[in-house]
Amino acid sequence: MAKIKSLDELRRIKTSASDLTAARSSNAVKVIVGMGTCGIAAGAREVMDAVLKEIEKRGLKDVSVQTTGCIGMCQEEPLLDVIYPNKGRITYGRVTPEDVPRIVSEHVVNGRIVEDLVIARVDD
């Protein structure tokens, strides 16, 4: 480890280190992947991988990724929800890993819903 020589250097380390604990603070946007048995069978693990990779690639802070069990929409799996604070919950269905970059860049980053993949919405 190179020695820290100034307060600015310390702050740079802080910025990169904050990823370490980011998942422990309250996050603005939530991404939820359905991980019931049928979700996993339909490819939810691959979707999850793609979500995590995309977030890492873009260096997004303030996003948390959670899982959920079966919610009774098995025919639409893999399911992915995006929840923006005070903006309700949007559910995307039959999500493939290829759809993920679009959902992340449009919805998670810019707040624009990817209409063609939406299968349900719940208002606050």
Partner 1 sequence: MYRAHVLVCGGTGCTSSGSHGVMDGLKSELKKQNLDDEVLVVQTGCHGMCEMGPIVVVYPEGTFYCRVSKDDVPELVEEHLLKGRTVDRLLYTGEGDVHVPHYSEIPFYSKQERVALGNCGYIDADKIEEYIARDGYEALGKVLTSMTPEDVVEEMKTSGLRGRGGGGFPTGLKWSFCAKSPGPKKYVICNADEGDPGAFMDRSILEGDPHSIIEGMMIGAYAMGADEGYIYCRAEYPLAIKRLKRAIDQAEEYGLLGENVLGTDFSFSLHVKEGAGAFVCGEETALMGSIEGRRGMPRPRPPFPAVSGLWGKPTNINNVETWANVPSIIRRGGAWFASMGTEKSKGTKVFALTGKVKHTGLVEVPMGITLREIIFDIGGGILGDKKFKAVQIGGPSGGCLTEEHLDLPVSYEDLAKAGAIMGSGGMVVMDEDNCMVDVAKFFLEFTQRESCGKCVPCREGTKQMLLLLKKICDGEGTMEDLAQLEELAHMVKDMSLCGLGQTAPNPVLTTLRYFRHEYEAHIKDRSCPAGACQALIRYRIDQDKCKKCGLCAKNCPVNCIDGDRKTQFVIDEDACVRCGTCYDKCPFDAILKL
Q: By CB under 8 A, name the binding residues for partner 1.
A: 1, 3-7, 10-11, 13-14, 17-21, 23-24, 27, 30, 32, 35-36, 45, 48, 51-53, 55-56, 64-69
Q: Choose between 6 and 75: whose C-beta lies nearer to partner 1.
A: 6
Token look-up 């020589």 returns: 5
* Contact criterion met (CB below 8 Å) for 99 and 116: no
- Cβ 51 to partner 1, closest distance in Å? 8
* Minimum CB–partner distance for residue 115 and partner 1 (Å): 26
Question: Is the CB of 79 or the CB of 90 nearer to partner 1?
Answer: 79
Residue 54 DSSP SS3: helix
Kindly state the smallest distance separating residue 104's Cβ from partner 1, in Å: 12
Q: Return all residues near 70 (Cβ < 8 A) that are at least 6 apart.
A: 34, 36, 37, 38, 39
Strands 63-68 and 29-34: parallel
Place of tokens 């005070």: 86
Given the complex with partner 1, which of 25 and 115 has the nearer CB atom? 25
- 3-class SS of residue 8: helix
Nearer to partner 1, 15 or 116 (CB): 15
Could you tell me the smallest distance in angstroms from the CB atom of residue 109 to partner 1? 15
